[in-house]
């Protein structure tokens, strides 16, 4: 018998589609590994997983995975995911979305998903740029960084996505980089276990566009940059804004329990089926 | 000789050398020769130094690496 020399994650992948289209050293592949690892740690049933994505390089991840998946329109994966979750709350719905997808065109869906606290996990692959379309500046591109739409450096301040999603009401929020695959896997595990809106921001490398335009030509240089500039939240909380300039704050931003949206919808339906009308709310039209 | 194996699938490897750089034990060496796909596939030259930590497996973006798990860990399962 020939010994199976396959990588441990190959059982989750559509082998006939490999190698994937990502550039050599792109962070997307590392994020796939950490997701599978996190999923195993959380003991999630792979058959219940539904992967949903928008448009972008990172949004192509679900297409390589042997589970139900939906490749949707740019910026809208959270809306589709909401529908999937409400249609069958048994599904383990996971969104893969880029920084452009989630924070630019899809920014509204992101904050409202968090506000609802619907039980889905959003993994945002933040490579600080629009990879797929040729290196345009995104809402998370650091101020002063270069892109094809910012030949003199980005003028605007970037969004701090993890803080934004926390403020919008998400119940689990963490940020790590692709240079910390162990911590990232653990955060994904917690996100999957959290019964509510979970947001994982992964700072990732796009060597082809972000790297090349910002003097980090190789994926190795980019990973070293992420490793060196990372600072854990506990330590960062004691430092001033000036001291944190250029740093990547990693760690848990939120971890709390709150009522979840699909549960509330189910309760409403249950009440309607047993009493003929939802008991928990008084209709605004009552007495009309 | 070590009683486990490290293999790099040369149909999947894109030669990014993340494994070569980030293996804490410097097990891999950049290859001097191109394979038929035009990729320098790293060679696990110092297999005997490997601690089977699996970091390279987690960091390879192309799911090309297999490092056998530690035998005692297997027994636990
Ligand atoms: C409605 C719409 N507008 C614009 C585009 C073009 N477009 C495709 S991907 C993309 C941005 C992708 O960036 P990001 O989400 O960060 O993904 P990445 O490629 O960096 O992983 C844009 C603007 C589109 N496909 N659809
Ligand atoms: S363009 Fe950037 S994000 Fe897209 S596959 Fe290449 S390295 Fe990855
Ligand atoms: S398992 Fe650890 S020590 Fe062994 S080759 Fe991989 S990274 Fe190096
Ligand atoms: S990390 Fe993977 S793809 Fe990159 S050189 Fe090593 S084996 Fe090849
Ligand atoms: Mg992007």
How do residues B7-34 score in pLDDT, each as one tens digit? 999 999 999 999 999 999 999 999 999 9
Residue A101 CB neighbour total at 10 angstroms: 32
Q: Report which ligand 4 atom has the smallest distance to the Cα of B15.
A: 5
Angle at Cα A118 formed by Cα A116 and Cα A121, nearest 5°? 125
Helix (H) or strand (E) holding A220: helix A219-229
pLDDT higher than 50, residue B77: no
Looking at the 3D structure of chain A, how many domains does it have?
2
pLDDT tens digits along A6-46: 999 999 999 999 999 999 999 999 999 999 999 999 999 99
Q: How many domains does chain B have?
A: 1
Per the domain annotation, does B31 fall within a domain? yes
SS3 (DSSP) at A137 = strand
Do A72 and A194 reside in the same domain of the chain? yes
Read off the pLDDT of residues B45-70 as tens digits, 9 standing for 90 and up.
999 999 999 999 999 999 999 999 98
Nearest CA in chain B to A27: B61
Average pLDDT, chain B: 92
Q: pTM for this one?
A: 0.95
* Structural domain span for residue A286: 261-288
| pLDDT value of position A4 | 83
What lies within 8 Å, CB to CB, of A23 at 6+ separation is: A206, A207, A208, B14
Report CA(A285)–ligand 1 centroid distance (Å): 43
Q: Is the dihedral of CA B50, B51, B52, B57 positive or negative?
A: negative
Task: Look up the CATH number of the domain holding residue B13.
Answer: 3.30.70.20
| Tokens describing residue A30 | 């590392």
Token readout for A179 is 């240079």
- For an interface test with B, the pick among A5, A58, A187 (most B C-beta atoms closer than 10 Å) comes out as A5
Q: Residues A102, A229: one domain?
A: yes
Q: Which residues of B touch A (CB under 8 A)?
A: 5, 7, 9, 11-12, 14-18, 21-22, 55, 57-66
CA distance B55 to A192: 22
Same-domain status, A27 and A103: yes
B12 occurs within a structural domain = yes
Residue A4 lies in a domain: no
- A151 and A62 housed in the same domain: yes
Asked if A162 and A269 sit in the same domain, the reply is: no
- A18 and A88 housed in the same domain: yes
CATH of the domain at A77: 3.40.50.970
Q: Residues near ligand 1 with C-beta < 6 Å?
A: A 55-58, 74, 98-101, 125, 127, 129-133, 138, 206
- pLDDT, position B71: 79
Residue A273 and residue A162 share a domain: no
3-class secondary-structure state, position A57:
coil
What stretches in chain A show pLDDT beneath 70? 1-2, 277-288
Give a yes or no: residue A104 inside a domain: yes
- Is there a domain that residue B1 lies in? no
- Rg, C-alpha atoms of chain B: 13
Alpha-carbon distance B19 to A16, whole Å? 24
Contact assessment for residue A9 and residue A36, using Cβ atoms and an 8 Å cutoff: yes
Is A138 in the same domain as A276? no
Residue B1 has pLDDT above 70, yes or no: no
Which domain, by its residues, includes B46? Answer: 6-67
Residues A95 and A63 in one domain: yes
């Amino acid at each position: 018998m020939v010994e199976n020399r396959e990588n441990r994650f190959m059982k989750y992948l559509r082998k006939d589609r490999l190698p994937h289209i990502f550039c050599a050293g792109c962070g997307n592949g590392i994020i796939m590994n950490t997701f599978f690892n996190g999923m195993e740690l959380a003991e999630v049933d792979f058959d219940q997983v539904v992967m949903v994505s928008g448009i972008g390089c990172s949004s192509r991840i679900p297409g390589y995975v042997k589970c139900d998946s939906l490749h949707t329109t740019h910026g809208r994966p959270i809306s589709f995911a909401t529908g999937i979750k409400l249609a069958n709350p048994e599904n383990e719905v996971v969104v893969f979305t880029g920084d452009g997808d989630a924070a630019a065109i899809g920014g509204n869906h992101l904050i409202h998903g968090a506000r609802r606290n619907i039980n889905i996990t959003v993994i945002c692959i933040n490579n600080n740029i629009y990879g797929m379309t040729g290196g345009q500046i995104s809402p998370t591109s650091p101020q002063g960084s270069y892109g094809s739409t910012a030949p003199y450096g980005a003028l605007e301040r970037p969004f701090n996505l993890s803080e934004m999603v926390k403020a919008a009401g998400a119940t689990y929020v963490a940020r790590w980089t692709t240079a910390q695959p162990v911590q990232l896997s653990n955060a994904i595990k917690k996100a999957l276990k959290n019964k509510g809106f979970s947001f994982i921001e992964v700072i990732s490398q796009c060597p082809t566009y972000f790297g090349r335009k910002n003097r980090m030509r190789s994926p190795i240089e980019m990973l070293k940059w992420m490793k060196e500039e990372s600072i854990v939240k506990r330590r960062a909380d004691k430092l001033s804004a000036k001291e944190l300039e250029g740093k990547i704050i990693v760690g848990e931003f939120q971890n709390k329990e709150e009522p979840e949206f699909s549960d509330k919808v189910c309760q409403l339906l249950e009440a309607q089926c047993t009493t003929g009308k939802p008991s928990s709310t008084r209709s605004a039209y009552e007495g009309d | 000789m070590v009683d486990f194996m490290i293999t790099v699938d040369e149909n999947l490897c894109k030669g990014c050398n993340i494994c070569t750089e980030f293996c804490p034990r410097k097990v891999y060496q950049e290859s001097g020769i191109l394979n038929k796909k035009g990729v320098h596939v790293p060679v696990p030259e110092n297999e005997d130094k490997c601690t089977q930590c699996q970091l390279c497996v987690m960091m390879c973006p192309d799911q090309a690496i297999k490092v056998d798990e530690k035998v005692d860990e297997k027994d636990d399962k």
